[in-house]
Amino acid sequence: MLKVNNIDVYYDKVQALFGVSIEVHQNEVISIIGSNGAGKSTLMKTIMGLNNAKKGTIEFEGERIDTVKAHSIVGKGIVYVPEGREIFPDMSVIENLEMGAFSKNYTKEQMNQKMQEAYDLFPRLYERRNQLAGTMSGGEQQMLAISRGLMSDPKLIMFDEPSLGLAPVLVDEMFEAIVRINKEKKKTVIIVEQNAFMAISISDRCYVLRNGLVTMEGESKELLGNDEVNKSYLGG
């Protein structure tokens, strides 16, 4: 479904990704783990067109998307839920959700139905629907960011550090939601995490990034048993 082929990405003169290739199939959950600065977010942003790859190609459903403008990527069916949530603080929850569907021309009923789905996933959002998003707690903002991403009914949804700065009980809730998004809503999922254990345990396959290189890839089950992964990322 998504094929990232041997891409090099630079920030000015500093190279951030070195020949990175990943492949994602329909209905999979892929985790990308690695420490701070390994290039995980850079990879996501490059897929979204926010960074440009100097070399290599990105294909989505057989179509080159590395030359497509950033604001057109959503229309192709890829959504990125960025690190640090990036919600619109001076808009209400409802307005934030509406903006998530910006790329679609929904009728009023379709819009209401999508919102109902968001409220079903996170009932808390319904309670907060008229509140300004900037005044909500971190966990609620993360719920909003995830739901906002789902509003455009994407085929592939990418989560960047969804557990960042959240209380453990909320972290579990986020990961449960992500599993439901994959299983019930049939979305292909990429999850980027520093919380490696959680990410690996809910994913089918995993890529390990280190200093801009893919150093390991494979079935999540196998990587969980791998000594090096254990030592470096799982604290074992």
Partner 1 sequence: MASQIIQLIINGVAMGFIYALVSMEYTIIYNSTGLLNFSHDKFITLGAYIFAGTFVLGIGVNPIVGVLATIITMFLFGVIVAVGIFNPLRNMPSRLFAIMGTIALGRIISEAIRLIYGATAKTVPGFITGVYRIGSIVISKATLVIIGVSILVVVILQIYMMKTKAGKAMRCVNQNKTAATLMGINVSRSIMITIAISAVICTIIGVLVVPLYSINVSMSNTIGLKGYAAGIIGGFGYLPGAIIGGLLIGVIENLSTVVIAPVYKDCVSYIIMIIVILIQPRGLRALIRRKK
Among 28-36, 100-108, 173-181, 188-196, the segment contacting partner 1 (CB under 8 A): 100-108
Among 55-63, 84-92, 173-181, 198-206, the segment contacting partner 1 (CB under 8 A): 84-92
* DSSP-assigned letter for residue 177: H
Q: Which residues of 14-45 are buried (b: 16+ CB within 10 A; e: fewer)?
A: eebbeebebebeeebbbbbbbeeebbbbbbbb
Helices (H), the chain: 40-47, 70-76, 93-100, 108-121, 123-127, 138-150, 168-183, 196-202, 220-225, 227-233
* DSSP-assigned letter for residue 164: T
Give CA–CA dist 32/38, Å, rounded: 10
Q: Which is nearer to partner 1, 72 or 112 (CB)?
A: 72
| By the rule CB under 8 A, 77 interacts with partner 1 | no
Q: Which is nearer to partner 1, 89 or 218 (CB)?
A: 89
CB 166 within 8 A of CB 175: no
| By the rule CB under 8 A, 100 interacts with partner 1 | yes
Nearest-approach distance from CB 7 to partner 1, in angstroms: 19
Q: Which is nearer to partner 1, 50 or 234 (CB)?
A: 50
| By the rule CB under 8 A, 11 interacts with partner 1 | no
Nearest-approach distance from CB 96 to partner 1, in angstroms: 9
Show the tokens assigned to 222: 């196998």
- Chain centre to alpha carbon of residue 19: 21
Nearest-approach distance from CB 103 to partner 1, in angstroms: 3
Q: Which of 123, 134, 165, 236 binds partner 1 (CB under 8 A)?
A: 134
> How many CB atoms are closer than 10 A to CB 105?
8
Q: Which is nearer to partner 1, 75 or 165 (CB)?
A: 75
Binding site for partner 1 (CB under 8 A): 48, 50, 69-75, 79-80, 82, 86-91, 95, 98-100, 102-103, 132, 134-135, 148, 152
